[in-house]
Amino acid sequence: MARGAVHASLSRAAVDWMVNTVDLTKLLEQLNIPRLGVDEVLLPTLQVSEALDMPGRFTAACVKKGNVTGFITRVEIWQYQKKELCFSANFRHSVCVFGVEDFPWLSNQLKLVANKMMPSFDYSAVDCMHELLFNRTHLGQVNNDLHLFLYESQPYVRYHKNRTNPDRNYTLDCSYGL
């Protein structure tokens, strides 16, 4: 069993495997107890379990070595870490609730999802992010070059590439991550 983030980036093959191949009913029943955060255990367990071998999975080797690699899924600011970066100065469950004053910082982040935004707190931040994504997607707006090597060099990407096409010179590097 593993514990980790609630947010996850999953491949289409992994989602198809969870929906159509494996029966997770028993595992969900076992995890669905009040003192255990099923949302923080299910996907992390699937993502590192060699026995279940979910498509696109990573390995537990880094955690077993005491290294928790960064990941591209979510950017957040914790109140007890870098609260000075939370320009809205609003926190919920110790996580910054981004406001429009955080938008310049957010628009330069490399991660895929910003946690947390709440329309009830500052709808303009949500609206600005929607407009930025629309402009980048449909109007060709380029604020920063997309450096694919940053993503391709992530430990979990390199691990998966090696599983797909084994390279005898490959070494798992758990020392970094976005």
Angstrom distances, CA of residue 176 to CA of 98, 138, 150, 151: 26, 33, 11, 12
Domain boundaries, the chain: 1-57, 74-138
The alpha carbon of 68 is separated from its chain's Cα centroid by a whole number of angstroms, namely 13
Please check whether residue 112 is in contact with residue 72, taking contact to mean a CB–CB distance below 8 angstroms: yes
Residue with tokens 């947010």: 7
177: left (phi over 0), alpha (psi -120 to 50) or beta: left
What phi and psi, each to the nearest 5 degrees, are found at residue 74?
-140, 140
pLDDT at 28: 85
Interstrand relation of 91-92 and 95-96 (parallel, antiparallel or unpaired):
antiparallel
Nearest one of 105, 93, 94 to 129, comparing CA atoms = 105
Nearest one of 50, 51, 56 to 9, comparing CA atoms = 56
pLDDT at 9: 87
Q: Which residues contact 5 (CB under 8 A, 6 or more apart)?
A: 40, 44, 71, 73, 74
Which pTM was predicted?
0.77
Please check whether residue 109 is in contact with residue 75, taking contact to mean a CB–CB distance below 8 angstroms: yes
pLDDT at 36: 64
Give me Rg for the CA atoms of the chain: 18
Q: Which residues contact 80 (CB under 8 A, 6 or more apart)?
A: 94
Please check whether residue 63 is in contact with residue 156, taking contact to mean a CB–CB distance below 8 angstroms: no
Angstrom distances, CA of residue 159 to CA of 22, 151, 154: 23, 12, 9
The mean pLDDT values, 10 residues at a time, for the chain of 178 residues are 79 96 90 74 89 92 83 90 94 96 93 92 95 91 82 90 95 84
